[in-house]
Amino acid sequence: MAPVEGRSPRQEHRGPSRRFVVVLLAIGFLALCGRTVYVIAVTRHEPVPGLTSSSGARRSFDEIYYVNGANAIVDGDGFFFSELPGNSESLRSEQAEHPPFTNLAFAAAAWVGDRSELAMRLEVAFVGALVVLLLGLLARELVDETTGLVAAGLGALYPFLWVSDGLLLSETFAVFWTTAAMYGTYRMLERPTWPMAALTGAAVGLAMLTRAELMLLVLLLFLPAALALRSRGERRWLWVPLVAAVVAVALAVPWVGYNLSRFERPVTLSYAFGGVLAGSNCDDTYAGSRLGYWNGYCARVETTGDASIAAAEKQERGLRYMRGHLDRLPIVVAARVGRTWGLYAPFQMARFAEAEGRPLWASLWGWVMSLALIPLGIVGAIGLRRLGAPLWPLVAPLVVVLLTGAAFGGLVRHRAVGEPSLVVLGAVAVVVLTRHALPHSSRV
């Protein structure tokens, strides 16, 4: 295999060419157009589940949570609302099922768009198009402009990216901040300055405030960054990554402090841990057709306390079930990881995803494309290693996905933050293989 032609991340950074900027913006514009059509033609027609039955629904309760939360913020009620359809006043309570960023982002769209869900969906579509641009910049940073444009093109077309870009969920925002964090980490390695450290830390902090499991990026990105800078003899090898970590944590402190002041039990970023633990550790998910999946009915508890009390009871239930069925745990974990990555029951997962608003055809298309991207990603990783580029910033989100899937059940949408890494590695592989097939060509 011929090595990837291009610059090393250690080389002096040069500004993008006019051709790169124009083509990248064109790809981003086409990505936005495609995502807008997807919203208008498909996702804005999602049926809403009722309180008594979700039959025929194409909207998850997470979407209802985010919409009700956004409207509550616009009304001046903060995070006091009901996570159930209708947002009944009698059912409203303090909420921290998820970190706050998605609610706040949707609140901005709700305020501008007079509570229009279409405005919220178009906001997500716009952020999804920004992800495409970031993918191009990230791949250019790693290799060259050709690879950047290939990555942007793959990102524009890849269903497991755009399928979330018309839904009222956190995945697109999480993907954006995770991709920004990877890009910032590579830039920080190239130029270990305080401003770059602060910007990278901010991206990680906002990722944490979008999905709680992304707090792992503080460790997975900044500890290896310190070691890498130290191995190069950088004088500020410790302080630059430390500044990034401090900024990331500092952004989360107000939300954590707010939660600690309003619940009976301590709550940090979210109290969802208990629910996902109970829902993924019960009879229904340890055997049978739902092996390795998640069941919300297993997470139901009766309590007179607030949501933090219920979350603690759910957590204890899940841990108790896990301790009592340790012999089944290896099989269950394998099934969870297999479901997450489309290696176990992919057609069933595509059908399950319909209840979250993901069209069956899009899920199947995404599954087929991901089966190609995974082996291409291995080729791309080899190409990057031969170029001398560090792999661990791209691997970090994949580790988060692996740990989340193994611990809490296989949900395809929870792998979203790992998709940018697959796209970038796949783009590297496409360029590597093309240049190997056309050895006399220096450009693709």
Residue ranges per domain, the chain?
18-437
DSSP string, 346-370: HHHHHHHHHTTT--HHHHHHHHHHH
Distances (CA, A) of 196 to 185, 202, 269, 293, 397: 8, 10, 25, 40, 20
What is the spatial distance between Cα 254 and Cα 260, in angstroms, rounded to a whole number? 10
Tell me the helices (H) and strands (E) count for the chain, helix number first.
Answer: 18, 2
Q: Which residues are bridge partners to 80 per DSSP? A: 94
**CA 201, 229, 191: angle at the middle one, nearest 5?**
60
Q: Where are the alpha helices (DSSP H) in 325-418?
A: 329-340, 346-354, 360-387, 392-408
| 3-state class (DSSP) for residue 334 | helix
Residue 298's closest CA among 312, 285, 316? Answer: 285
Neighbour-count burial of 309, counting CB atoms closer than 10 A to its CB (0-12 exposed, 13-18 middle, 19+ buried): middle
What is the spatial distance between Cα 295 and Cα 284, in angstroms, rounded to a whole number? 7
Residue 293's closest CA among 414, 418, 411? Answer: 411
Q: Where are the alpha helices (DSSP H) in 13-158?
A: 18-41, 61-74, 101-112, 117-142, 145-157
The pLDDT value given to residue 156: 98
Residue 435, both tokens = 């240049």
Q: Which amino acid is at 432?
A: V
Q: What is the dihedral of CA 239, 243, 246, 251, to 10 degrees?
A: 180
Phi, psi angle pair for 80, to nearest 5°? -110, 105
Q: Which residues are bridge partners to 81 per DSSP? A: 93
The pLDDT value given to residue 301: 84
pLDDT, block means (10 residues), the chain with 444 residues:
41 78 98 98 75 55 94 96 83 95 98 94 98 98 96 98 96 99 97 96 99 98 97 93 98 98 96 95 96 91 84 95 97 97 96 91 97 95 93 98 94 94 98 82 49
Counting every residue written for the chain, the total comes to 444
Phi, psi angle pair for 107, to nearest 5°? -65, -40
Q: 75: Cβ–Cβ under 8 A, 6 or more apart, which residues?
A: none
Q: Which residues are bridge partners to 94 per DSSP? A: 80
What is the spatial distance between Cα 299 and Cα 274, in angstroms, rounded to a whole number? 8
CB 113 within 8 A of CB 150: no
CB 182 within 8 A of CB 142: no
Burial 310-327, CB ≥16 within 10 A → b, else e? bbbbbbebbeebbeeeee
The pLDDT value given to residue 441: 55
What is the spatial distance between Cα 310 and Cα 18, in angstroms, rounded to a whole number? 56
Q: 175: Cβ–Cβ under 8 A, 6 or more apart, which residues?
A: 128, 131, 161, 164, 416, 417, 419, 420
DSSP string, 1-17: -PPPPS--TTSPP-PPP
Specify the pTM: 0.94
Q: 300: Cβ–Cβ under 8 A, 6 or more apart, which residues?
A: none
CB 439 within 8 A of CB 373: no
